[in-house]
Amino acid sequence: MLGDFLRKVFRGLSPDQYLNSIFEIDFDDLKKRGIKALLLDVDNTLKPHYAKAPAANVRGWLDDARAAGLAMCIVSNGLQGRIEPFAHDLGLSAIGEAMKPSRKGFILAAKHLGFEIHETAVVGDQIFTDVIGGKLAGSFTILVKPISKDEPFYLRLKRPFEKLVLIRKKKL
């Protein structure tokens, strides 16, 4: 009984895909799954946490995603005043102060793009915000490895627990 409960909990924490970076996302595979839009995290997904500009090659990757027919919106817990200029510079809309893992920001972003939540994929570097929030919303979830290890201490505290979830996922 406890084993079944724990398996269910770990499945709820486990991303649908786990990749090294956004550059490994297979746009054709997502389209086959009915995915029409990407809901993107910013810090340590599109740029190193403390950087102001996107990571190298992100603009090209965004162009490739657009060419594949995918719509995109940033969904971040960052302040709207910080996230909006970053998104605008990349030609994206943004939902800041999303309160992830709440599903509200993801649902709002999907509606903004004109899609149902099940037609979206959440892409981010954190299980306890991006993956859980995406799953609660009903989205496909893609966890990517953080771009940089240079991040606030409170995020570094969560990383060992994320590793436990990922190790456990391999055993399920």
Residues 149-167 have pLDDT tens digits of 766 656 555 665 666 666 6
What does the pLDDT read at residue 47?
93
Confidence of residue 36 (pLDDT cuts 50, 70, 90): very high
For residue 50, the model assigns a pLDDT of: 81
Residue 72's φ and ψ, nearest 5 degrees, are: -145, 150
- To the nearest whole number, what is the mean pLDDT of the chain? 87
Cβ(142)–Cβ(27) below 8 Å: no
- pLDDT at 106 > cutoff 50: yes
pLDDT digit string, tens, across residues 134-145: 999 999 999 999
CATH of domain 2-171: 3.40.50.1000
**pLDDT, greater one: 21 or 152:** 21
Question: Looking at the DSSP assignment, which residues form a beta bridge with residue 74?
Answer: 40, 94
Q: Domain ranges for the chain, please list them.
A: 2-171
Q: Taking the model in full, what pTM does it have?
A: 0.85
Cβ partners under 8 Å of residue 93, min gap 6: 73, 74, 87, 109, 112, 113
> Which range (31-35, 53-57, 89-93, 101-105) has the least confidence?
53-57
Residue 85 preceded by cis peptide, ω within 30 = no
